Structure formats: structure tokens, C-alpha cells
Structure 1
């Protein structure tokens, strides 16, 4: 795995849209979302210099789980199961173009992500090796896409951020 610790780190930032007088439910959601987003943004900024932008984050009870858009918006629904660092990192990936841009669609060929920078980085991970491939569809990638909370480990979180950074280099 390439050492990016000596390089300029990411400049990803975020803010939470809140109401002036939150209910107990809203305040609880705000607290959980804040913890998840702080951890996720810190992970991205520590692992890659290639992800940037200011994300607009909101609590929206009409959202079933959570969603992220290339316009920089992330929405968390009322289900607390998804107010985690794992989900926040997955949604940040969407704000960075994963599954949300034309370039993403161009780089996914026959169920595989073909970006040269991303594949080169993936192949440096000891568990994956020099012939590793990254599966992908119109929405997500795996491994390391953090598509389910059960995939969370700190190492997988680091690799998610690193690979999304490399996807930025591939033009996603």
C-alpha cells in the first residue's frame, strides 16, 4: 500500500443542516450523524489527498437508509442503524462520483471497475495481490465499498478512502 501520510492530505469538510429547536429525536440523530461524519471525514482526509469538497449533510426522515449525491449532499434517514462511520464513508464515496457520474459508468465494464490508478492501488494491498480486480455496478464497488455495516473494519475503512481517492485520479 502506498504511503500517503507524507503527502498533502484531503480537504473534505462538511456541515449539518439543523433546525433551531430540535426535538429529542432530531437531537439524537444530529449527535449520531455528527459522530459518524466526523470520523468518516477524518478517515478520508488522513488517507487520500484527492478527495475534496464541502458536504451538506441532513437528517431527513423520508429517506429509508441514507444516500449521497455527486452534488455534495448526504441525507440520513431515521433508522439509527445507518448513522455510522461505515455508512458515512459509503455515502461520501457517492459525493465523490462513485455510481453518480458518467465517468463512473464509463469505467465500469462487464461488472469490473477499470480505472488504472484504482487498480494499481488495489493490487498493492497484500490480501488482494497483483491480479486483483474490483467488482462494480451502476451504484457501488466491492471489496472495500462498505456497502453493508458488516463490512466495517478500520482497515476496510482506510482502503475505502484510499480507493475512492484513486477513483478521483481516474476521473470519476
Structure 2
């Protein structure tokens, strides 16, 4: 009995061993492999809506390969047979029929690209047929200077207009300048704090009587572009000097009058090329101040008039305003007939209709015709000097 049991046990073990070793396929692995399906079948349409930096391409899933497509789009390159690892644009619109659209962005202008639709399923990445297209030429930003430019001995003023933004994103805008042709952003540049369609630019710290080359520039997402260059010369630095007869004035009065004429002559010498020497006299009997073309200036005891604006006003009289026949010839009918002084006023104030007005004695605006007009601002003093320089260009003599 015991022997029979042992034989049966041995036979059972042999059968189990044979059953385990005779199976060559893992049912679970075979099932997983079948679930992977095959690669999807996909087609690529020709590119459309082609611009300088973008294009649209449609693709179509013809067959998903038996599993869900988890990603679809267009891969593209400047080389043939672009792949998933190259640049790609995922579909931004999917239609129920399997059609999908991808928008390609930030392309280079006037460049040939190759593109293939792709689809990703469990089996892997499938590619469609290859198409090619060429982007159009890039429309560059168009930057131009205004017609009128104004120069002092150390400063240049100009208008810049961004007439066309072009196809590229503008990241920075401004002007470059130098004493050699075709200055670049690697030379001297003035960057604007924002992207403006129109702006006025002042370039300062320049050398008198020197030709400068100036170009507007725009830094875009792809490259730096420059507008048309122009050359402009700074003017000869003025040499307006004065001597001062104190005539018993107290120390505070002397300090005020000297400070007024020191500042006034600085503006004349930076923004005009006038060469003249005048004699300034403290004259307590003079109600405010007066001057003549011979270069004699009286400053009264009224403290409100012992300022730079009054000094510049009287200096203008000493170089011809209201004191020379040429001034009266050009200031006819209450308006200045010369071209340059009016151009300067229009350009600097952004008012194309502005004209210098006046009478037989004074001009305005910016004539500082009274203490109430003297706000002490840089722009007021600068404009007074620039208009005087314009009047000199129009023919009014200084001496």
C-alpha cells in the first residue's frame, strides 16, 4: 500500500513538471503586446497662410493604429525629414474627422522649411508625408527722422517716428550716433524706456563744430535693424562774455546779478554761436532792466528781475531784438518772417502751426518778457537761446 502511494506521488510530480516546461508563450505578455497596436497612419497637407514668421499646416489621422492618439501636430526644420526631436507645434485645433491644424510661429523670413505631421500612440511616433514651404520676406520696422533737426554746440534735437512696426516683435528702440558713418548699438546709443510711435530725442555731451552720424534703431526678436542715417554738425560754441560794474551794490545783489549772467551766458554759449561782449551795470534807478545794441545792460534794484531770465532777455536786446533794423524788417505784421526761428519753435514744441510773434521791442513765446514769465526752467532758457540762434540764421546780426 505504501509502495502504491509513492508511485502515484512520483507520477503526479512528473506530470506537473512536464506541464510547466511545455508552455513557450506567456499569456499575459502576449496580451500586452497585442494592446500596443501599430503606428498610426497620418497625412500632411500643404502649408497655407504663409507669412514671414508663421504658417499654418493641416494634418489628418487616417488610422489610429488600434490605440488612442495621445498627441498630434507638425514637426518642422530647415533640413529634410524633420523629426519629433526637432521643432514642433502641437495641434491647436482638432476636428472630429481626424483633421487637425497646427500654427507654426517664430519662423525666419524668406526661408525654406520642411514639415511632417506626426501622431503619438502606444506604439510610438508616426510621421506623415513631407511638405515644404518658403516664408515671405520680413517686413522690417520703418523708422524715420523728422525733417527739422536742431543743433547747439553740444546738443542735437531730433524727432523720430516709427511709421511701420513690421512683422517682428520690437524689444527696444532708440538712436545711435557717432563721428563715423553707420554707428551701431555697440557705439553710443540712447535707449527709449518704452516702444513709442513718435518721440523727440536729445543727444547731449557732444563736441562743438563736429559732424555726427545718427541712425534710429530697433532691436527685434530676430535682429537689430537701423533706419536711414543722416549727418548733422553741431554749431560753433558761442563766446558771449560780460564785465560787471557793481556801482556800490551790496554783496547779495552782486551775487544775484553775477549768478544770473553766469547762467545766461552758459545757455547762450551752448545753444548759439553768438560772439559778443557786453557791460553789465548795477543801476538802482532803473525800474527793471534795459539794454542797447552797443552792449550796455542796466540791471535795477528789483530783486525779482535779478535772475537768469531777465539777463537773457536783455542779452537778446544787445544782439538785435528790438534794437536793430533787421529785426524790424523780419518782425512785420506781428510775426517773424524768417524761416529758421519758426522751424525751431515748431519742432521743439511739436506744434507745426507755431510762429514766433512780436512787436518792435519784444518777441514771444520764450522771450521772458517780465519776471512773471521766468519759471527758471531749463526748457525756457534753452528755447530763448535757440530762437535767438534761429533769428541769427535768418539774418539778424549780433554786432
**TM-score (normalizing by structure 1):** 0.90
Q: Give the deviation of 1:8 after TM superposition.
A: 1.9
1:2 and 2:150 are equivalent in the alignment: yes
Q: Give the deviation of 1:3 after TM superposition.
A: 2.6
* CA deviations over 1:48-80 (Å, ceiling 9, x no partner): 22x220010000111110011111111101111
1:19-168 equivalent positions in 2, closer than 5 A: 19=247, 22=248, 25-49=249-273, 51-125=274-348, 127-151=349-373, 152=375, 153-168=377-392
Contact 1:113 / 1:133 at 8 angstroms: preserved in 2? yes
Instruction: Please report the RMSD computed on the Cα atoms of aligned residues, expressed in angstroms.
Output: 1.5
Contact 1:96 / 1:168 at 8 angstroms: preserved in 2? no
The number of residue pairs the alignment matches comes to 166
Runs of 4+ in 1 over 6 A off after TM superposition: none
**TM-score (normalizing by structure 2):** 0.40
Judge which range, 52-61 or 4-13, deviates more.
4-13
Q: Give the deviation of 1:32 after TM superposition.
A: 1.1
Q: Give the deviation of 1:168 after TM superposition.
A: 1.6
Between the aligned partners of 1:7 and 1:137, the Cα distance in structure 2 is 29
Aligned-partner SS, 1:9 = coil
Structure 1 gaps, min length 5: none
Aligned-partner SS, 1:55 = strand
Bigger fraction of residues in helix: 1
* CA deviations over 1:81-108 (Å, ceiling 9, x no partner): 1000010011111011001111111111
Between the aligned partners of 1:37 and 1:147, the Cα distance in structure 2 is 16
Between the aligned partners of 2:350 and 2:371, the Cα distance in structure 1 is 21
User: Structure with the greater relative contact order (CA < 8 A, sep ≥ 6): 1 or 2?
Assistant: 1
